[in-house]
Amino acid sequence: MNILLQVAGVAVMIVIFLFYFVERKSAVRSNQMFLWQAISIFASLILDILSIIMINKPDIFNIHLTKLVCKLYLVTVILVVCLGLVYCLGDIENINFKFFSRMCMTTFIMLMIGIVLVMSTPINVVYDKDGLNDYTEGLPIIITYTEAFLVMAITIAIIVKYRKYIYKKRFIGVFIFISLWVVGSAIQGIVNYMFSNLGVTILSVSLSEALGSLVIYIMLENPSLNEDKITGALNQRAFIDYVSLCMKKKLDMEFILINYDTDMSNVLLNYDDFSKSITKMLQTFNVEKVFKNDRNDFIVVRKKEGTRDLSIVANEFKDNFYKNNDVFININYKLLHFNDLSLFESSNDFIAVMKYLNVNLTSMDRGIYEITDEIVNDVHKKFLMKKKCDKALANGNVEVFYQPIYSNDADRFVSAEALVRLRDDDMNLIFPSDFIVEMEHDGKIIDLGEKIFESVCLFICEHDMEALGLHYIEVNLSTIQCMQEGFADNFIRIAKRYGINPKYINFEITETGEQGKANLLRNMQILREYGFSFSLDDFGTGNANLNYIVEMPVEIVKFDKSMVDSYFKNGIASYVMNSAISMIKGLKYKVVFEGIETEEQINVARAIKVDYIQGYYYSKPISKESFVSFLEANNK
């Protein structure tokens, strides 16, 4: 037997260890499982070599000692595959802790059974005549390979079942590792079985383990993978690892997210240099770790004890920044201070909350934000609500309610606003304030908007609009929808499918920024040419003002509830609004007052000849069945 392949394996392992320890500075944590597995592979290789030497020198080594070494080698083979399984389980720990601990226990028991069986059953050393092909045989070998295959089958089953949660590279890395192992043992089995009588033998299992370990190292465990290449700070991947570590070990750390925005346009410094200098500066702040998060933020981790007050850090950040950069940049920054990791369910939860707050606190003043348990609870509630809404949407639990709109001229209800609602599992209603903005952010509003429109088309299809006294139904459009290319054609296609006369539909829009306005106007034009009409919603809220009316081709202007309320409360507001109303009427637009709740308000609204009135005074938004009954009762 020759030991060439094993020696090559040893060389591979030495290279891995060398790199691992040289690059350790950028490791967030050493992945204990990888390290243990690498050490067992190394031990396995050494024992493999040792056993071959001992078998070949029966005159020097006691046969019992030789058999013991052979068995120890087999034990390390089982150990290597068991550690491989535990290594893969790491990713599942946060997802399903019960399953994780149960599997760790099972693996431990399998390992123990394997060791006991291997150590207690007899192994034989077979010497052949020329001494070239001495080998071992017996139950321990069969047990070892059976168990190894079993454990690897379990590993594959688990990573396939949980592939959604397993880090993708780990999935691939482990597959390569196992494939190498299977190929290695197959070659060993086949060659030794078929060609041993020709004097050809090969022991390739240990080498394949070493190569597998090398693949895992390069793909996953190389500490420099944790580095942000530009700034030299630790990267997001490292952050995820580090947070898990802090949570698992209950390390008492505080996390500070530093988000800065700055106008780089008048600065000579390029962005990469700028980030680099910020990293350097933060590293001098007596901190534990510095992570580069998204483009404009860093996360600094400090031990809680004995660190300087956050406001001092904030000032230092600013002062140092100017000192180091020698240029004047007006840097705005905000610090989110997370002092208590126990508020979070898991590392994933912490990262999600941090991300959410980072995005959603931008509208507030710059400065330092203590992230209290109330804030975290609020975000958790939002997450829960989002889950509920996503589920309702996925299950198609979308309903359209109708709020009647009264016409002063006709003295009856001539239209209604279609308002969307979702229903959760307990059949409770979820209101738009809980989901519209979120769905605008993640784009789901486009699908939802289509469903709402279809629902309104169906309503018009199923009812005799004239008989009910209805002129049209108002359908809210989100600016996100209107900015979509091809949006108008799509809605026209839907209307045609239901055979809807476009005069029965009036779309409500609000103001958009300049961005996307061209598309909005194009879509509006196509829809108007087809015969739909438009209202400007939320007039007076900052979402729509006089300026906007002039350039928007609308027929109706809807005064928002807040504006209507101040009309009744405040003399100056009513003066301003009276002139606005006469101007709008002068442009031949109709005016709607929204949010009319009292008799007093109704009387005034009628007196000043507001064209349409909508509000709880007449009716809240109601289901389509109730709406039809409402009309039948009130539009006689």
Residue among 51 and 519 whose Cβ is closer to ligand C2E: 519
Q: Six-digit token pair at 508?
A: 């409500």
Residue among 397 and 476 whose Cβ is closer to Mg ion: 476
Q: How far is the CB of 299 from ligand C2E (least distance, A)?
A: 35
State the residues that interact with Mg ion by CB under 5 A. Answer: 476, 508, 537-538
The amino acid at 599: E
Residue among 93 and 597 whose Cβ is closer to ligand C2E: 597
HSE of 213 in the Cβ direction (CA atoms, 13 Å)?
A: 32
Q: Six-digit token pair at 155?
A: 């590993």
Residue among 419 and 470 whose Cβ is closer to ligand C2E: 419
Residue among 261 and 565 whose Cβ is closer to ligand C2E: 565
Q: How far is the CB of 564 from ligand C2E (least distance, A)?
A: 9
- Report which of 463, 474, 506 is spatially closest to residue 614, judged by C-alpha positions: 474
Residue 616, interface with ligand C2E (CB under 6 A)? yes
Distance CA 153, CA 502 (A): 62
Residue among 254 and 508 whose Cβ is closer to Mg ion: 508
Q: How far is CA 138 from CA 79, 126, 227, 288, 613, in A?
A: 19, 10, 49, 54, 92
Distance CA 629, CA 632 (A): 5
SS3 category, 335: strand
Q: How far is the CB of 492 from ligand C2E (least distance, A)?
A: 18
Residue among 121 and 541 whose Cβ is closer to ligand C2E: 541
Residue among 575 and 616 whose Cβ is closer to ligand C2E: 616
* Candidate residues 56, 136, 621, 631; the one interacting with ligand C2E per rule CB under 6 A: 621
* Candidate residues 221, 254, 297, 594; the one interacting with ligand C2E per rule CB under 6 A: 594
Alpha-helical segments (H) within 326-464: 347-360, 373-394, 436-442, 444-462
Q: How far is the CB of 596 from ligand C2E (least distance, A)?
A: 6
Q: Which residues of 396-432 are buried (b: 16+ CB within 10 A; e: fewer)?
A: ebbbbbbbbbbbbeeeebbbbbbbbbbbbeeeeebee
Residue with tokens 């240029």: 327
Residue among 228 and 594 whose Cβ is closer to ligand C2E: 594
- Per partner kind, with CB cut-offs from 5 to 8 A, the member of Mg ion, ligand C2E, none near residue 561 is ligand C2E
Distance CA 517, CA 85 (A): 55
Distance CA 507, CA 509 (A): 6
Distance CA 215, CA 207 (A): 12
Q: How far is the CB of 477 from Mg ion (least distance, A)?
A: 9
Distance CA 184, CA 209 (A): 8
- Per partner kind, with CB cut-offs from 5 to 8 A, the member of ligand C2E, Mg ion, none near residue 390 is none
Residue among 541 and 574 whose Cβ is closer to ligand C2E: 541
Residue among 49 and 631 whose Cβ is closer to ligand C2E: 631
Contact letters for ligand C2E, residues 374-413 (x by CB under 6 A)? -----------------------------x----------
State the first-to-last Cα distance of the chain, in angstroms, to the nearest integer. Answer: 103
The amino acid at 560: D
- Per partner kind, with CB cut-offs from 5 to 8 A, the member of Mg ion, ligand C2E, none near residue 203 is none
- Per partner kind, with CB cut-offs from 5 to 8 A, the member of Mg ion, ligand C2E, none near residue 420 is ligand C2E
* Candidate residues 111, 419, 422, 577; the one interacting with ligand C2E per rule CB under 6 A: 419
Q: How far is the CB of 559 from Mg ion (least distance, A)?
A: 8
Q: How far is the CB of 453 from ligand C2E (least distance, A)?
A: 9
Q: How far is the CB of 494 from ligand C2E (least distance, A)?
A: 15
Phi, psi dihedral angles at 123 (to 5 degrees)? -120, 145
Residue with tokens 């599942």: 92
- Report which of 406, 397, 405 is spatially closest to residue 435, judged by C-alpha positions: 397
Query: How many chain residues are in contact with ligand C2E, going by CB under 6 A?
Result: 25
What angle is formed at CA 204 by the lines to CA 198 and CA 205, rounded to 5 degrees? 135
- Per partner kind, with CB cut-offs from 5 to 8 A, the member of Mg ion, ligand C2E, none near residue 316 is none
- Bridge pairing between strands 297-303 and 331-338: unpaired
Q: How far is the CB of 440 from ligand C2E (least distance, A)?
A: 8
Residue with tokens 């009588």: 197
Residue among 16 and 473 whose Cβ is closer to Mg ion: 473
Helix axes 310-325, 271-283, angle to 10 degrees: 130
* Candidate residues 48, 241, 511, 537; the one interacting with ligand C2E per rule CB under 6 A: 537
List, as own/partner pairs, every contact residues 165-172 make where C-beta atoms lie below 8 angstroms and the sequence separation is at least 24, other chains included.
165/91, 165/92, 165/95, 166/88, 166/91, 166/92, 167/91, 167/220, 169/219, 169/220, 170/88, 170/91, 170/220, 172/219
- Per partner kind, with CB cut-offs from 5 to 8 A, the member of ligand C2E, Mg ion, none near residue 516 is none
- Per partner kind, with CB cut-offs from 5 to 8 A, the member of ligand C2E, Mg ion, none near residue 71 is none
Distance CA 504, CA 497 (A): 15
- Per partner kind, with CB cut-offs from 5 to 8 A, the member of Mg ion, ligand C2E, none near residue 492 is none
Q: How far is the CB of 182 from ligand C2E (least distance, A)?
A: 55
For residues 503-522, which are near ligand C2E according to CB under 6 A?
508
- Bridge pairing between strands 297-303 and 253-262: antiparallel
Q: How far is the CB of 607 from ligand C2E (least distance, A)?
A: 19
- Report which of 404, 430, 431, 429 is spatially closest to residue 417, judged by C-alpha positions: 404
> Where does 244-365 show beta strands of DSSP type E?
253-262, 289-292, 297-303, 331-338
Distance CA 579, CA 577 (A): 5
Phi, psi dihedral angles at 321 (to 5 degrees)? -60, -45
- Per partner kind, with CB cut-offs from 5 to 8 A, the member of Mg ion, ligand C2E, none near residue 257 is none
Q: Segment contacting ligand C2E (CB under 6 A): 57-65, 166-174, 308-316, 425-433?
A: 425-433
- Are the C-beta atoms of residues 305 and 251 closer than 8 Å to each other? no
Q: How far is the CB of 530 from ligand C2E (least distance, A)?
A: 20
For residues 429-488, which are near ligand C2E according to CB under 6 A?
431-433, 436, 449, 452, 476-478
Q: How far is the CB of 508 from Mg ion (least distance, A)?
A: 4
Residue among 301 and 475 whose Cβ is closer to Mg ion: 475
Residue among 223 and 449 whose Cβ is closer to ligand C2E: 449
**What is the contact surface with ligand C2E in residues (CB under 6 A)?**
403, 418-420, 431-433, 436, 449, 452, 476-478, 508, 537-538, 561, 594-597, 614-616, 621
